[in-house]
A and B are shown apart, each in its own frame.
Chain A
């Protein structure tokens, strides 16, 4: 089943005229007038040169940052009118993040790191552990569950991060340069996981400046100087 098989799915992301200016001086117009729609089950890549506003856009998409202006609906919810607490809940439930630098907690086991992403959405402990196991098996790390992240390779760490992003069953998986710190073999493994997730119906937005990564996506969007081009 693919997204196209479903009649008129509601878009996961709907951005209309979104701006993000960082007040200076000098003022930086990191994002200006972005219109972006991401349908359910879509696999989108956002490419652009350094400093073009990719990370800023991803932060906006992930509700980690507030736009200066515009409209942003996530799963049909108008996010700009939400208070901080509701935004945090929405973020925890609907968004899964994968960062370039993994952002794993070094003092916790791999399993605990994955389970952590369900703490703030209130999944009971037993269920968290069970689901974290499944997610780790899913990314091929069943044998590394009780390891410390520091003992893993870069590729393994990123797969832990993907498991963590998946396990809370988000509506949207956001990845910022997910292969930026990996060699080509490990990068390929990560991209295979993304392909699979796409086939299972996950909505993905991957930010990259690597064409090899970008090409894997169903749709590519270019960003230059804070505006989208396609």
Chain B
């Protein structure tokens, strides 16, 4: 049953067989050498110990030996890392979208109005002058400015002269007044017609622009026939329909007349507020200068609404979202890490006889520890890798679905698998120590 040590070469054998035969002879010589060695002669020691590469191979083989278990073990880390990458990625993406929306409209809008809190001395502390828009317009960085006011119309209802809405009594609509620059300042867009101009204002012409919602209720959708409406018992000509604004959405529900007409009909004493549209990046500067420009004697009586400092919106939103998302991811990772620790510990108990064998083959305690530690790191790393892929897919998928531009920090997608490895390292520490503490005689006893 045993092959004769120096048997004839295998007839089917190629070069590999002859090489084996040579090695075989060498082994026999080496074995014989054990005998010949004289007293006191020590044989050359191989103190090199195992190569790092070999320990890695052993750990890899250990992981690969149980594929089903590998999948189950990584599951927790995959979920944790996916949650982390996905939530941070989506958080950044979402914050990016919010910021983009804020950017154009909000970041260039400044509103000045009398400070209500300044009214301790009875009346409103101060009144905005009619020429506030002109004063503001002189400032460098202002693109447009206009006043806006809410009119006290009492019981005056608004109705269409042509009766197109089929309602006799009329509608309780908001009536507002503005300077000609208002529409430019709030980025107004028209469905049809035109805005009123300085001439209308100066002459006190009874013209109005309708917000699109107001126009709809009045049944007016064209202005080329110069439709008329009544506000109370006064008739006004509709010259335009406002389609869109930014910042002051109530204009869309209102009937808007020039200040000139408002003064005549409703004794408007002063504007409620000044809407200012600044150049990009100038909002902070204008916010500081506007009160002085409007009321040099008492600038502090004016309240200024301006967008937060550059980048403030983005940072604020992002850090809020990220804190929450990171917390979620961290919890998931903790669970994932505990999962790895648990399964690795189980694996140690199951592989006691393997541990004993390795010790018998010359593995020191630290080699056994390294074996399980590296296995655990591999599991963590694989989990991290898979989790990152899932997280990135999640971010891209949701972004695609919601028409967002996915924003992915490359540090995140590179660092996340490493984070998985670190979790594996931490999770594997205790099981590895446990494995290395197993006595070889205990491990080799029994079956």
Could you list which residues of chain A lie within 8 angstroms of chain B, going by C-beta atoms?
Answer: 1-3, 6-10, 40-41, 55-56, 59, 62, 64-65, 75-76, 84-85, 88-89, 91-93, 95, 97, 99, 101, 103, 105, 107-108, 112, 116-117, 119-125, 130-131, 133-135, 137-140, 142, 164, 168-169, 171, 189, 192-193, 196-197, 200-203
Question: Which of B46-54, B114-122, B276-284, B328-336 binds A?
Answer: B46-54
> B2 contacts A192, CB within 8 Å?
yes
Contact residues in B for A121 (Cβ distance below 8 Å): 46, 48-50, 362
> B1 contacts A140, CB within 8 Å?
yes
Contact residues in A for B5 (Cβ distance below 8 Å): 138, 196, 200
Nearest A residue to B363 via CB reads A120
Contact of B34 among A40, A139, A164 (CB under 8 A): A40
Q: Known interface pairs A130-B23, A134-B20, A137-B3. Does A103 touch B357 (Cβ–Cβ under 8 Å)?
A: yes
> B31 contacts A119, CB within 8 Å?
no
Contact residues in B for A55 (Cβ distance below 8 Å): 445
A83 to B43, CA, bound (A): 20
A141 to B332, CA, bound (A): 50
Give the size of the chain B interface in residues (CB under 8 angstroms): 59
> B36 contacts A65, CB within 8 Å?
no
Q: Known interface pairs A3-B35, A9-B39, A169-B30. Does A192 touch B1 (Cβ–Cβ under 8 Å)?
A: yes
Could you list which residues of chain B lie within 8 angstroms of chain A, going by C-beta atoms?
Answer: 1-3, 5, 19-20, 23-24, 27-28, 30-32, 34-43, 45-51, 53-55, 58, 61, 64-66, 353-354, 356-367, 439-441, 444-447
22 contacts between A and B (CB under 8 A): A6-B35, A6-B36, A41-B35, A59-B440, A64-B360, A89-B45, A89-B46, A91-B359, A92-B363, A107-B61, A116-B58, A125-B53, A130-B23, A131-B27, A134-B20, A137-B20, A140-B3, A193-B2, A196-B5, A200-B31, A201-B36, A202-B34
B266: min CB distance to chain A, Å: 91
Contact residues in B for A62 (Cβ distance below 8 Å): 360
Nearest B residue to A120 via CB reads B362
> A125 contacts B444, CB within 8 Å?
no
Q: Known interface pairs A6-B36, A131-B23, A189-B2. Does A85 touch B364 (Cβ–Cβ under 8 Å)?
A: yes
Could you list 13 further interchain pairs (A-B, Cβ under 8 angstroms) beyond the known A65-B441, A103-B357? A6-B38, A9-B39, A41-B34, A64-B440, A64-B444, A75-B42, A89-B364, A134-B23, A134-B27, A138-B5, A169-B27, A189-B1, A202-B31
> B38 contacts A138, CB within 8 Å?
no
- 9 nearest A-B residue pairs (beta carbon): A92-B362, A122-B48, A201-B35, A107-B65, A120-B362, A88-B364, A10-B39, A64-B440, A189-B1
A121 to B51, CA, bound (A): 9
> A138 contacts B361, CB within 8 Å?
no
A117 to B359, CA, bound (A): 10
A-B contact count (CB 8 A): 176
Q: Known interface pairs A131-B23, A140-B3, A189-B2. Does A120 touch B39 (Cβ–Cβ under 8 Å)?
A: no
> B353 contacts A119, CB within 8 Å?
no
> B46 contacts A122, CB within 8 Å?
yes
Contact of B27 among A97, A122, A125, A138 (CB under 8 A): A138
Contact residues in B for A7 (Cβ distance below 8 Å): 38
Contact residues in A for B2 (Cβ distance below 8 Å): 138-140, 189, 192-193, 196
Contact of B54 among A89, A119, A171 (CB under 8 A): A119
A197 to B364, CA, bound (A): 28
Contact residues in B for A137 (Cβ distance below 8 Å): 3, 20, 24
> B46 contacts A119, CB within 8 Å?
no
Contact residues in A for B356 (Cβ distance below 8 Å): 103
> B444 contacts A99, CB within 8 Å?
yes
Q: Known interface pairs A64-B440, A122-B49, A201-B34. Does A135 touch B27 (Cβ–Cβ under 8 Å)?
A: yes
Contact of A119 among B58, B65, B440 (CB under 8 A): B58
> A125 contacts B447, CB within 8 Å?
no
